[in-house]
Amino acid sequence: MPRPSARGGLHDPVADQVETTLFRALAVLRVVVAVYVVALGVSRWRELDHPVVGWVVLGVIVAWTGTAAWLYDAPGRRGLPLLVVDFLVAALALLSTPYVQSDAMLERHASTMPSFWVITAVLAWAVARGWGWGLGAALVMTLLDLSVHTSPNGTTWGNIFLLLLAAGIVGYSSSLIREATEARAEAERIAAVLSERARLARAVHDGVLQVLALMQRRGLELGGEAAELGRLAGDQEAALRALVQGDVLPARSAVAAGAAGERDLVASLSRLASRTVTVSGPAGQVLLAEHLVRELTAVARACLDNVARHVGPDARAWVLVELVGDTVVLTVRDEGPGIPVGRLEQARDEGRLGVSESVRGRMAALGGTAALVTAPGQGTAWELCVVASRTDAGVHSK
């Protein structure tokens, strides 16, 4: 079960794995620096005013190095208490310097008792909480370091600068690594979902959907009770097709979320599909500005409403999305009786503005065009075009 996050919610297992790797690298740094501190302490123990306390401090450093490496290795233990205790151990080791070291050591600005070992506690905050908390921990440790130096020199300020720089870089880099790993894991998950869904869709299409389509067609041809069974088969075909595509649409939307304010036009139009409406588009995505996708979907819905109203609820219709250079071409056609010459003008004169406002008006507002191709007995086809690179239309495509 995912552990509770300090930032709220639940931790992603992928993020925990990235964090574990970073803390293991930090554990190696702890060991290396601890070895250096012990060697430094052994080389100057005769200069200490209180050597026994000095050996105790070194023992605590060694013991806590092993303990911290073990504690930080488990995601469930990397909470605020461990970070605070880790920082306090480093801070107390640093504050012991004026008591343990001799006046001569303090006057020549000798390294503090923990020396560079204090940086590991600061970097733990940077890895766990990001660069902001890392810099905060570095600033507090800086103030403590200044409190044990009576007159800081160039070396002191140089060490402080390196501490702040390391905290900021490590915190920022760990955040970037975590985000990149999570994004890759999400992309792999979406790819796996799409692949499995496509496999299932092929299997269903080759079997169940074809049988249902055959039942619908034969039932309507036979008429009577068979026609009713045919209509029921058509409804089940549409429901099953929607179920097969149901998980693909959220996955497509998740992939499209990489660009703010963009949506996939094909995914939006696919929600208009039914047993009488077929939606087709490119194999990839057609990413456009969100408001443009919303308007084009509304235009297509208006065209389909006209088909249902004037041709009949069982009339077949097709919606096709194409990319021609920078132009998005949306075609909506049916196989109805067509529109007689002059019928649209008559409807406009009678105050019925569905076609002129819902279709042509919307397309004009988007800077696009709406062309109607129709003739008696030859059905109706709307060809809706908009240039995807028009900045004044707020369009952005990939």
pLDDT of res. 240: 64
**Does residue 2 surpass a pLDDT of 70?**
no
pLDDT of res. 28: 93
7: number of Cβ within 10 Å: 8
Any idea which of 62-71, 179-188, 268-277, 387-396 has the lowest mean pLDDT? Answer: 387-396
pLDDT of res. 118: 92
Structure tokens at 210: 């074809």
**Does residue 395 surpass a pLDDT of 80?**
no
DSSP per position, 149-162: -SS--HHHHHHHHH
Block residue for tokens 């999400």:
186
pLDDT of res. 125: 92
Long-range contacts of 337-341 (CB under 8 A, 24+ apart): 337/311, 337/376, 337/377, 337/379, 338/374, 338/375, 338/376, 338/377, 338/378, 338/379, 338/380, 339/372, 339/374, 339/376, 339/380, 340/376, 341/376
Q: Which residue has the higher pLDDT, 370 or 11?
A: 370
Where does the chain hold its CATH 3.30.565.10 domain(s)?
261-398
Q: Which residue has the higher pLDDT, 157 or 87?
A: 87
DSSP state of 284: S
Q: Which residue has the higher pLDDT, 210 or 266?
A: 266
pLDDT of res. 53: 92
pLDDT of res. 8: 40
Any idea which of 200-204, 289-293, 386-390 has the lowest mean pLDDT? Answer: 200-204
Determine phi and psi for 44, rounding to 5 degrees. -130, 20
**Does residue 308 surpass a pLDDT of 90?**
no
Block residue for tokens 């908390």:
133
pLDDT of res. 89: 95
**Does residue 9 surpass a pLDDT of 80?**
no
Long-range contacts of 48-55 (CB under 8 A, 24+ apart): 48/100, 48/101, 48/102, 48/105, 49/99, 49/100, 49/101, 49/102, 49/103, 50/99, 50/100, 51/100, 53/96, 53/99, 53/100, 54/100, 54/101, 54/113
Interval 330-340 mean pLDDT: 82
Amino acid at 153: N
8 Å CB contact between 297 and 277: no
pLDDT of res. 255: 42
CA pair distance 39, 115, nearest whole angstrom: 11
pLDDT of res. 241: 61
8 Å CB contact between 23 and 73: yes
Interval 224-242 mean pLDDT: 69
pLDDT of res. 237: 65
The mean pLDDT of the chain is: 78
60 class by beta-carbon count within 10 Å (0-12 exposed, 13-18 middle, 19+ buried): middle
CA pair distance 70, 86, nearest whole angstrom: 12
Confidence of residue 197 (pLDDT cuts 50, 70, 90): low
Determine phi and psi for 2, rounding to 5 degrees. -60, 140
Q: Which residue has the higher pLDDT, 3 or 308?
A: 308
The third-level CATH classification (topology) of the domain covering 261-398 is Heat Shock Protein 90 (3.30.565)
8 Å CB contact between 393 and 367: yes
Per-residue pLDDT reduced to its tens digit, 96-121: 989 988 888 877 778 889 988 999 99
Q: Which residue has the higher pLDDT, 123 or 216?
A: 123
Any idea which of 149-163, 180-194, 245-259, 332-346 has the lowest mean pLDDT? Answer: 245-259
What 3-state class would DSSP assign to 350? Answer: coil
CA pair distance 89, 56, nearest whole angstrom: 13
Q: Which residue has the higher pLDDT, 30 or 235?
A: 30
Residues counted in the chain: 398
